[in-house]
Structure 1
């Protein structure tokens, strides 16, 4: 090895750290070294066995020879030769200086741009600068390209504890911002773990990019270790789904994946075979940008649809507006329209908080998780004006009223039944057209005094329910009543699935909150990973709160350590009734025996404290307010565990 190109690295602080007759794995720069102490001297070999890549530093010296731990091949510990054979492993110079051991390796060649460098830079140019995932053996080249971009300050990678949590976090990020984040996994089980979170994004129309490692192309289809045909596996969930090859148009492939995710509000998936992740980028390769590759979305509806909708609105005396999750980025314009035509505004459960319950026209949530206020005004109306909602049976939007439905997606229009006036157009553009054309033409009843009265009746009913106490734990309404007083007005609220969610939708009164949930998929376990995704989107500009039951929280319990690791000041309100209460309720409703719904739980507050968060556990109603006050005041991640009565929801 030419001395002029040698760089020396300390690999052992003291010779006593490696006894005679032993070997160990060390690193000199980026070079893996098997360091041996044999016959009174220190020797350095390439750490990779040339046959299967086994780590020789994990082997042992037997009868004067170093044995590979993977397949038993023998090498001399200092010369690297295999006795009786022509093969062997490379050696490196070693020096002992003041009892420390140094190994010399050739000066590293400067990094040459790779295919994955070009693709990751393209991804960042398109605005995807947040990635949730796990680094592993089949995605190391792609991970290294991300590392280089993170070191430049161009992206942030969050190492999660379960790939499903990473997909949920990316889904929540897309729901909150309308922009995709990426989730990232190894081949095989790491990739299949992401499926639930990807389906959550797909059915709730959140853009998301899934990036997966893959085993080498030559063994795809052979039953190799962790080999799953990921293109076939992702074909049901991913609207754009491709394997990246050495001869692909790499920047273009990434551009198309992101365009499909953004435009169709869907899942895009790219899988990267192991061997091509470190390939040098072809000459003249360049990362792409969105310039000239995507158009504005402000599409106006057809004139015929507008005319019919305007005619119906001009005739209405008691119109109401129903908004779903799809209208979340157009609410300022919708509220102005509501004020113009005196229309009460109610939301689907997914749309909770899109209008404040403190607004004079706000009527809360419609449907199973809703308020009697919303249902009353829908029933008293003579016209429904629906924005960004698809009439899920959980919402309970009647199909017996004259209805105008506005949506950016033509397939969402009249999805479940005939609509009187389906209007295809971008929501904010359509609302502005409605406002201009309705000026001075409507003759509607001012329903604000009735809204005040209905809220008074509902709050009186809630106060009566607060008195309920069976001596078996705290009621859900007591928890959400405390949250009404203490939760930050502008918090992003991430809610799980189950009775905790129904109670939250019914009893919590929104201010300037934003709510995230697993809507159409209804996946348990959403709240905690969603809060991670939400925090990465808003940072310290807004508080983030996760509301979960014990069943849902346990699904991704380990990712509380992720919250602590990245110092995310997320507040978790955990309702613990030691039961899958919603399932028990469904079993009773179906006239089945209640079976297999009881849970054995840890002390979640103690668990939170052991992770480095701040945890409090309360068992009595009178303890809730003070404990919650401490949780929200804590400067860092915190969890409030409340022992609840499964019957008082």
Structure 2
């Protein structure tokens, strides 16, 4: 016994006579027994369905003999030898040596053999080779082999892992991460409900073209189909939402399968999904991890010379050109600004692209559409040529059907999607701007749109200030977003929810510097804001371009109430997120829509706790604001807090 590893599993006082208990030595689960004045330790797994014997009891059988009874299905084993009474197995449970030393219980285990490399080790190594850096998820019974591979990668510094409280929050977090960085993070779930809880966030990623990787556990392959516990057809469940969805089988080329998942997420900016049956995860594998070298080409597509020449001619002839920037132009804004400055064109953005052209730029004209500014509407109505760059012509944006529209997009399906345009141009936005820049000029005698833009901003700012005179039962949203816009850092990342708070943010907050805004664009899912901020914060830990940037999330009380317990996730991992919560006690946007449609207002009121107190109970910073004089100080204090902070503003649902 001298060559055994002796591991302490407790004290004799921990387990009374006649009882059993589950203990763990290293990672071995053991049923510890105290019976008839003796101690025994045996394999904790019942051979029937792996039931935990240590959660069972010692009971007297019909033969008057005492047995350990498995809590799941009642199989019996001798308390000291582990032998069955007969009829179940030919051999009993494996026994381990036990020693009592000064009242401390030691179990002897064979020295731990070298760890056998597994299928999921190969796949996780391939993921990290392709650049995966963060995983959000929940560890559970059908993903434990995969979770172990992720744990080892975290220990080696290859990955970061964030354990969430609800898989839906993980989905929104990785969707936001993908929108911000253009690269995927991953979500880990169990089979069945864990996997299906991802679907809303996966749709958010798909329709907004964010790369994400879903890693879902699955039941063992031997019980596929007949309706085992948590057995659902995950490939079918994810078929519509994913660009790539495949089960991981024992016969798969595991490294290649992982490479294809990562490549689909990156190239298509879409959802990739891998399904991991429980029994396949721990199969041994000597296969090397795959590398991405030579697998991805450069993404630059230069428009044709004829299209460049025609676009240059149209822009050079325009006296009142205007540029509409969509989120598709996110990586080309330096080139867009250079073009705008050369032809003196105001630049408006879609709501999804808010912040890409800062409002403090002389040509920045704000957001166009339902969440926008009258400045943007003014210039659109007066424009003689519209240049739409990476914009989808959503009905929320409301781009006018002008005669002279140049639309540039990398996705050919977006060109003229809803109606014909004068000049559809297929190509990457930056390549288009670089190519057309030398060929454009501003017509002699064209109006000074920079000066006109400043005039329109002055008019709008006077209107906004006048709205502060409006009174009600709470704070005006303009006062909150005016202050936040002035105080927030120039490189802040905003994650916004949906509802009146979002419309007010789009309309009132003036962006500056190189701030970014993340939102649930086409899906418009309530609850997105705070989980998205977690994903954005993870990106600030992974990507040099975002390191040190402040993350600010915004929601109403309805939105925050979707995933409030994720505030404890932020506390656990020290996420430096400031949450701005507009609390009006109702689903204010829905009340507004009911009134607009001449419906009675019904079932939109909410019963809420004090969210500031909740934040403090969770271990973060929480402050409630009821008076306008406290707004600036409360925001400043929250932004200075190193960790999760929540400012609860008591607002009026009508003052938006």
Q: TM-score of the superposition, structure 2-length normalised?
A: 0.96
Structure 1 partner of 2:40 = 43
State whether structure 2 residue 123 is matched by structure 1 residue 119: yes
Structure 2 partner of 1:204 = 208
Checking the alignment, whether the CA contact within 8 Å between 1:577 and 1:643 is kept in structure 2 is yes
Structure 2 partner of 1:473 = 474
Structure 2 partner of 1:54 = 51
After TM superposition, give the deviation of residue 625 of structure 1 in Å: 2.4
Q: Using the TM superposition, name which of 619-628 and 210-219 deviates more.
A: 619-628
Secondary structure of the 2:33 match is: strand
CA distance in 2, matches of 1:435, 1:237: 39
1:127-276 matches, cutoff 5 A: 127-276=131-280
1:518-557 matches, cutoff 5 A: 518-539=520-541, 541-557=548-564
Secondary structure of the 1:242 match is: strand
Secondary structure of the 2:356 match is: coil
Q: Using the TM superposition, name which of 444-453 and 40-49 deviates more.
A: 444-453
CA distance in 1, matches of 2:236, 2:531: 27
After TM superposition, give the deviation of residue 581 of structure 1 in Å: 0.6
After TM superposition, give the deviation of residue 296 of structure 1 in Å: 0.3
State whether structure 2 residue 621 is matched by structure 1 residue 614: yes
CA distance in 2, matches of 1:403, 1:193: 42
Aligned length: 643
CA distance in 1, matches of 2:339, 2:609: 50
Secondary structure of the 1:25 match is: strand
Q: Which runs of 5+ in 2 are unaligned?
A: 61-65, 542-546
After TM superposition, give the deviation of residue 443 of structure 1 in Å: 7.3
Checking the alignment, whether the CA contact within 8 Å between 2:138 and 2:190 is kept in structure 1 is yes
After TM superposition, give the deviation of residue 593 of structure 1 in Å: 1.0
CA distance in 2, matches of 1:112, 1:468: 69
CA distance in 2, matches of 1:633, 1:292: 45
Structure 1 partner of 2:544 = none
Q: Using the TM superposition, name which of 80-89 and 426-435 deviates more.
A: 80-89
CA distance in 2, matches of 1:456, 1:360: 13
CA distance in 2, matches of 1:497, 1:118: 40
Q: Using the TM superposition, name which of 307-316 and 329-338 deviates more.
A: 307-316
**Residue number among 334, 338, 341 corresponding to 1:339 in the alignment:** 341
Secondary structure of the 2:310 match is: helix
Deviations 1:543-570 (A, max 9, x none): 0000100000011111000110000110
After TM superposition, give the deviation of residue 437 of structure 1 in Å: 2.3
Structure 2 partner of 1:15 = 12
**Residue number among 365, 368, 372 corresponding to 2:367 in the alignment:** 365
Q: TM-score of the superposition, structure 1-length normalised?
A: 0.97
CA distance in 2, matches of 1:249, 1:279: 13
CA distance in 1, matches of 2:113, 2:443: 74
Secondary structure of the 1:154 match is: coil
CA distance in 1, matches of 2:531, 2:424: 36
1:85-124 matches, cutoff 5 A: 85=87, 86-124=90-128
CA distance in 2, matches of 1:527, 1:626: 23
Checking the alignment, whether the CA contact within 8 Å between 1:134 and 1:160 is kept in structure 2 is yes
**Residue number among 368, 390, 393 corresponding to 1:391 in the alignment:** 393
Structure 2 partner of 1:484 = 485
**Residue number among 31, 34, 41 corresponding to 1:34 in the alignment:** 31
Structure 1 partner of 2:22 = 25
Structure 2 partner of 1:500 = 501
| RMSD between aligned residues | 1.3
CA distance in 2, matches of 1:38, 1:155: 46
After TM superposition, give the deviation of residue 333 of structure 1 in Å: 0.8
Deviations 1:287-345 (A, max 9, x none): 11111111000111122322322221122111011101111111011001100110000
CA distance in 1, matches of 2:413, 2:86: 72
Structure 2 partner of 1:413 = 415
After TM superposition, give the deviation of residue 444 of structure 1 in Å: 4.5
CA distance in 2, matches of 1:288, 1:163: 28
